Each structure stands twice: as C-alpha cells, then as structure tokens.
Amino acid sequence: MRIGEVAKAQSNVAERLVQQGLERHQTGDTRGAIESWQKALTIYQKNNNSAHEAIVRENLVRAYQQIGQPEQAINRWNELTAYYRQVGNWQFLGRSLSEQSQAYNSLGQPLKAIALLCNPDKYNNCRDGSALEIARATSDRMGEVAALGSLGDAKRLTGDYELAIKYLENSLEIVKKLKTPALRVSVLNSLGNAYISSAQLKYRRADSATQIGDNPEANKLRNDGKQLDAKALGYLRESSEIARSQKDISGEMRSLVRIIPLYYRHNLTTDATNSLQHATKLLEQLPDSRARVYTTIDLVHLLEPVANQRTSFRTRCLAPNILPKATSLLNQAITVAQRLQDFRAESFALGELGHIYECRQEYPQALEMTGRARSAAEQNLKSQDSLYLWEWQIGRILKAQGKTDGAISAYERAINTLETIRRDILTANRDIQFDFRDTIEPIYHDLVALRLSSEQPVQTANKSLLSKDSKENFRSILKTIDLLKLAELQNFFGNDCVLSLIPQQSIDNTGNSTTAFLNTIILEDKTAVILSLPSGQKKLSWIPVQRQDLINRINEFRRGLERFRDNTYDTSPAEEVYDWLIRPFIEDFKQTGIKTIVFVQDGILRSIAMTALYDRQLKQFLIQQYAIATVPSINLTDTKPLSRKELRVLALGLSQTATVDGTTFAGLKNVIREITEILQKIPGKKLLDDEFTNLRLQEELSQKVYPILHIATHGKFGAEPQDTFIVTGKNQKLTFNELDRQIKSVSRNTQPLELLSLTACETAVGDERATLGLAGVAIQAGAKSALATLWAIDDVTTVQIATDFYSKLSSDRNTTKAQALQAAQIGLIEGKTADGQKYTHPYYWSPFLLIGNWL
C-alpha cells in the first residue's frame, strides 16, 4: 500500500472505532466506549488528524464525567482548549472552558471554575479570554447561557448566593429565547439550588438570632427563608415539568431530589410522598452512571421526613420500618457502582449500608460493610473525603461494642485523613461547611472523650507525677483539641482563610516559665478542663454540667457583665465559673509561680471575659491575680516576644454616625482623643472619618511599615464571615477577609503585624458561631496578636485602657502584652482614671481580650 492508502485505511478503522464507541455508550457500556475511542484517538494522532482528534476528545471528556472521573475529563479539556486556541475556533474554546469549569465545580473547586469562566479583575469585571467574554464577543448565545449557568453554580459553591442568583437569572433570560429545553432544565435547576442555599443562610441567621434572644429578628429571617424556598420550589417544579415533557429522566431526577426536602421542610407530606414514589420509579430507568448511584443514596436519605433539615444523615437513623427499602436501594447502588468499576461511588453506597446496619445494632455486618467501603475508598486517592467518614463510622461501631482501643485507633485514622484534606473539604463547598457541627466536630470530641475516659481528675498540687502513658495520652488529647481549633477556623472563614501553622509548636515548648495553659473541651454531659504547667505536667478537672445547662449559665454570666446600670454587681455567676475553671488548680499556680494564664477555649466559653471571674475568698477578680490571654490554637500562635524596635502605629478611627446594611452605628465621640493620645505614646499616622476608607488604608499600608494597626470604630462579629466586619468612613464596611487580603497584597511588612487593636467591636451574647470570628480575628488579619472587645463600651474608658496599654507597652521592655493589658484593667478597677469617675464594674474593663501572642 502507498502511504496515502495506509492513512485512509487507518482512518476507516478509526471511524469504525468511533461508531463502535457510540453504540457501546448507547447500551450503557461507558467503559467499553472509552476503550474504543481511546484506540481511535491514537490512530488520529498518528495521522495528525486534529479535527477528528477534537471530536473524539469531546466524547472522552463526557464519558469520563459520566463514570465519575472528573480529573481525567479536565486533562482532556486542557488538550481540547489548547487545540481550539491554536486553530482560532473561539466559539468552541469558550464552550469547552465552560464545560471544564463544570468539572472543577463537581470536584469542589469553584475558584478554579470562576477563573476559567470570568477571571474577574479587581472591579469584578470578566477579562478577555474567559468563557463568558468569548461567548459575548462571538455572539454565541448558547455559550453565554452555559458560561453564566456554570458561573452561577460556582458562586453558589463559594457562598456568594446573591451573585449566583444574578448570573443564573441572566442565563435564564437568554435561554427563554432559545429552543433548548435541556439547557433550560439545567438553568432552572441551578436557580432552584441557589435559592435553597440562600434560604438556608436565612435559617442559620435565624438560629443565631434565637440563640441571642432576638425573636423578632429570628421570625423575620425565617419568613425571608420561606419566601426564598417558595422561589426555589417554583423554579424546580418548572425544571421537572420541562424535563418530563422532554423525557429527560436525568434532568427530572435532579429536580425531584431537591424538591422533596422542600416539601418536607414545609410539611407538604403528601406532595413529598408522591414525588418520592415517582422518583423511585424513574430511578430504574436511569442509565448506569455515578449520578445514578448518588441519586439512589439521596433517595434513601429522603425515605422519611427530617424534623431538623440541618441534621446530618451521617448520624441520623431511619425508622425501623423503612430500613428494608433503604437496604434494597443501596444494594442496587452498589451493583451499579461495581458495574462501572467506580470505587468512589461504591464506597459511598457501601458506607451508607454499613450505617444502616449500625443503626440496627447489627455490628458485625456494620463493620463488614464499612470495612468494604474503606477498602473501596482506598482504591482511589481522590476519595479521602469518604475515607474519613468510614474510619469515623468504624470508630463509632467499635465504641458501641466497648472496644475502646480499637475505637481510638479508628478515630485517629479519621482525623489523620481529615488533616490531609482539611482545607479542601472545609472551604470548597459552603454546604459542607455548615454541616461542620454534625460531620466533623463530633470526631474530635468523641476521640477526646474516649482518651479522657482513662484519666482521673487531679485536684491538688501534691498529686504524684503522671505516668509515661498518661503524659502521652494528654499530649494526644491536646493535639486533638488543637487540630479541632484549626478545623473550626478553616471552616468558618472558608476559601479566604489560609492557615499558616507554626512548625513543631506545642503547649510544652512555648518557652515561658511563668505561663500556664487551660484547655476546655465541651462534651454533651460534662466539660473537661486541662491544665498544662511550664514543667510539662498536665492535670484534669471536670465541670459536671450538661452542655445546654452550661451554655445557659455562661450566657447568664455574660449578661450580668453587661448590666452596668445595676447599682451593685452580682458576683455569683462569676464565682461559679471561677470555681469551675480556676479553683481546682489554685495550689498549682501558687507553687509554680504562674503569672499569666492562657486560655484555649471551646464553644460558648470563647464568648466570656475570663478577666472577670471572681474569687469569693480573696474578693478579687481573676485579672487582679493573673495576666490573661486567649489563643484560638497553639499551632497558630507565634510565641516570639514583641519586637519593640521601630514600633509604629497606623491609627484609624470613625467618630461620625454611619449607616451600613440598614443598621445605624452611633458616633464615637472620644475616638479623636483616643487616637491622639495613642500617637503621643507611639509614633505613627492617623486616618480619621472620611479619610478612613478601604482605598486610603491600602495606600498607607503600601507606603510604610506599621507593626501596629489600631482601629477605633464599630465592628461586629457575626455568625457568617460576611457578617464579621468593621465600619469605615463614607458609610462603608470592611470584612476581616477583605482586611486580610489588603494586608497581604499591599503591605510592605515582610513580617506579620505585631498587633491589631479593635476597640469598639461587639459579639452577641449566646452566639457560639460568632465567637469563631472573634477567636480567629488575629489569624485572619495576619497579626500575631489582637486586642479586641466582646461588646462596645463607654468610649471614655476605652481611651483610658488603650492609652494605658500602649504607654506600658512602649515604656517597659520587660512587660508582656498580657501584663500591659492587665495593668490597664487593674487601673480602672482600682479607680485610677483621668476623669475621676468610678469604672469598677466589669462592664467597663472586662470586654477587652488579648487574642494570640501574649508576650
């Protein structure tokens, strides 16, 4: 044969392989189709037939996505986009970028998706070369629909629901003019999902409002959530109806699994039951795919109403009469996954079946199925996010069997796996983030409880030294607690939070001989308090109070601190908390010469002023006995002492009334005096009122190095990162995520800020989630320490404490930051004030917290 004839013959073979692949795909043999197309691709590559290469690559991409291999799909998209860019086929390039972004969304990597779809500049405008701009430049309306839809999905995954809805509604307006029912089904479904996520945010905010006793606000937020749910239901029903008319079974199923929870949430039980029965029939008609396996698992979760929509399926048990149906469905899902050779999907189906046996207390079968789920997850390096679930499940089963050592080992494996994927799993998808309390936190708490069960509480300094095993056990306990703190902060701040760990940092090597650490961990039936002394000695005490009772009593203590109009201060709640946390270790503090106590707090305990604990015997507040600081995590705390070389402060303040997001913040009349007096103690520069803007802050940070950033303005620590902000000039606000980006992107500081001071912030009583924003403020702003307030106080006393603090810090090189704050607070307690007024009530001095580095 001549060369041309050989090439033609090979081309004919390739065409037959392509056709064979199509036929295999139509019969559900997706892996067989991939095999045929791979062979065809090799022939086309040998013959340099780029156009046919591109067609085959597109087939392969969609096949890989169908069998649950988005990484392979992305690799093929990279090859395709390079080809379309080379030949100048801009329309196909734009569409391929949109489809590639969908693969990134499915992997929980929405920021990568957004970069392909829009690649926004600092004004949030899409750049040339992005999928959306290519579609608009080439007048490709279908491409524009796809890009806007994918961008909406990506924004939803990052938690920006408002922008997600905007993009998706723009996409819907365009798709209405096109005769493309499949695209319309997809866009409507995405809109429904975005409105559901937005409604869930309202419900979470309502829960926070209920926690702090603001029932009118809670009711308003719940009504807002219901309205958003109604919009979601409208879009999803329309999507389902169009899909049904087009016999698009996959599209209809996607809508139904989102509609049914809405029916349950709003007590539309008959509608939910009918939809569930219809979905179960449709399930049998779906082709084999990863989506079919996951849809089956979703239907199992929907077999009965859930009283609390935010209860995790990972720990919830179905009613006994439903278990046979659930078992049957999961066995079907396992069979499909095995036919696909999709280990990841098989892992989830096996694990869910293991959980059903766990609920039935059939522990041998539960262990067998969960072990198979773990083995399947281990077959795929990308399945770490399921592997930790099955290790946790094994731990729960072994714990229920009384096999403590085995349970501890399983819990530790689960946490080790979580640590390898911590940032990805806790920041990739906001829906996962809000399940944190149900799906992540219990693993750490259960492990700590199991390890503590072997330790006896120590009440006196004369107790014998811990055994080697006990020391190691406490070391493991404290490490677990610290890892939980890291996970909580990563979870709260999301995508914008990059936690920089201090290498080899631990409580035992902070190098300070007069500092003791107190760790707390709140369990359901009691709270552990662990003392770490400079010698490395560890001691344990228990607070024998149920979790909810503890929360109520801590909130009462906090409310008492804020009742400054009371003629006399009732010290009883402060005495109770002192007896819980401090009294068991008083002799230890005395014998070891402790001068500073650093708290590593859990849950609601983060929201109270430890300085105001009261010793009824000595009639002193805790701050009169010890300097106090708090750290969110020892692994995130840089313990190098304050460098006083070339200390400079950038002082920012707002004395004017401001309105932000519909809330009016009263003017702080003493801010100008506060900043003036601080600048008399430490040199620097001020930006006041209208000069205090985001832009001016950026400019100043880019021009000079400021180790201290002092901000005297209203601030709020809320239950969501976007609700955690400070008020700036011209009725603007600056979230701490944005502040962090400014500091890191434009600051000339090559080292972290030494200190961030926030002297007029507030955190609502009882809002546990909001305290995470407070705890992590220094970390998120890239500062070694933060001086912040739990509530906004009389700004006369703020001036007094701030100026005394900076005066002591700048004049005495041997004084730590914690001791400088202690001296300032004692000054108010003992009546040493410039205006001669009495400010002894804890309301005036106790809200000031030193967070992070205390040296």
CATH number at residue 61: 1.25.40.10
Do 623 and 707 lie in one domain? The reply is: no
Q: What token pair was written down for 741? A: 């980006």
Do 794 and 701 lie in one domain? The reply is: yes
Do 613 and 495 lie in one domain? The reply is: yes
Rg (CA), the chain: 30
Do 777 and 658 lie in one domain? The reply is: yes
Report the chain (855 residues): mean pLDDT per 10 consecutive residues: 46 86 86 91 87 88 82 86 91 94 86 91 81 96 96 92 96 94 96 96 87 87 97 98 96 96 93 96 91 94 72 78 94 94 92 96 97 91 81 97 96 92 58 65 94 76 57 91 86 63 63 89 94 92 95 92 82 97 96 96 92 97 97 85 87 94 89 95 95 92 90 86 88 86 69 86 73 76 87 82 94 93 94 71 93 93
Instruction: With CA atoms as reference, report the closest residue to 540 among 454, 605, 632.
Output: 454
Handedness of CA 33, 38, 39, 45 (dihedral sign): positive
Beta strands in 608-713 (DSSP E): 614-615, 620-621, 627-630, 649-653, 658-660, 663-665, 684-688, 708-712
Helices (runs of H) and strands (runs of E) counted in the chain? 34, 19
pLDDT tens-digit series, residues 288-301? 888 899 999 999 99
pLDDT at 430: 43
For residue 22, give the 3-state DSSP assignment.
helix
Do 601 and 663 lie in one domain? The reply is: no
Q: Which CATH number covers residue 762?
A: 3.40.50.1460
Q: Give whole-number Cα distances, 459 to 131, 481, 539, 579, 648, in Å.
A: 66, 22, 8, 12, 46
Q: Give whole-number Cα distances, 679 to 270, 672, 710, 740, 810, in Å.
A: 68, 11, 10, 24, 11
pLDDT at 771: 75
Q: Which domain holds residue 184?
A: 179-281
Is-contact 175 186, C-beta < 8 A? no
Residue 484, domain member (yes or no): yes
Edge-to-edge, what's the strand order for the sheet holding 596-600? 538-543, 527-532, 515-522, 596-600, 627-630, 848-852, 783-789, 753-758, 708-712, 649-653, 684-688
Residue 192, domain member (yes or no): yes
pLDDT at 2: 38
Do 691 and 816 lie in one domain? The reply is: yes
Residue 75, domain member (yes or no): yes
Instruction: With CA atoms as reference, report the closest residue to 224 among 204, 247, 249, 251.
Output: 204
Do 833 and 704 lie in one domain? The reply is: yes
Do 626 and 649 lie in one domain? The reply is: no
User: Which are the contacts of 472, defined by CB distance < 8 A and separation ≥ 6?
Assistant: none
Concatenated DSSP letters of 579-609: HHHTGGGHHHHHHHT--EEEEE--GGGGGS-
Q: What gap in Å lies between CA 356 and CA 587, rounded to an integer?
A: 51
Is-contact 277 256, C-beta < 8 A? no
Concatenated DSSP letters of 425-437: HHHS-HHHHTTHH
pLDDT at 180: 93
Residue 256, domain member (yes or no): yes
pLDDT at 10: 61
Do 659 and 744 lie in one domain? The reply is: yes
Do 622 and 667 lie in one domain? The reply is: no
Do 603 and 699 lie in one domain? The reply is: no
Residue 494, domain member (yes or no): yes
Q: What token pair was written down for 698? A: 């950026």
Identify the burial level of 504 via C-beta atoms within 10 angstroms of its C-beta, where 0-12 means exposed, 13-18 middle and 19 or more buried.
exposed
Q: What token pair was written down for 656? A: 């004017």
pLDDT tens-digit series, residues 12-29? 888 899 899 998 888 878
Residue 169, domain member (yes or no): no
pLDDT at 505: 61
Buried-exposed string 724-763: b where 16+ CB fall within 10 A, e elsewhere: bbbbbbeeebbbbbebbebbeeebebeebbbbbbbbbbbb
Q: Which CATH number covers residue 184?
A: 1.25.40
Residue 12, domain member (yes or no): yes
SS3 content of the chain, % helix, strand, coil (to 5): 60, 10, 30
pTM: 0.86
Q: What token pair was written down for 342? A: 């999709």
Q: What token pair was written down for 729? A: 């000039």
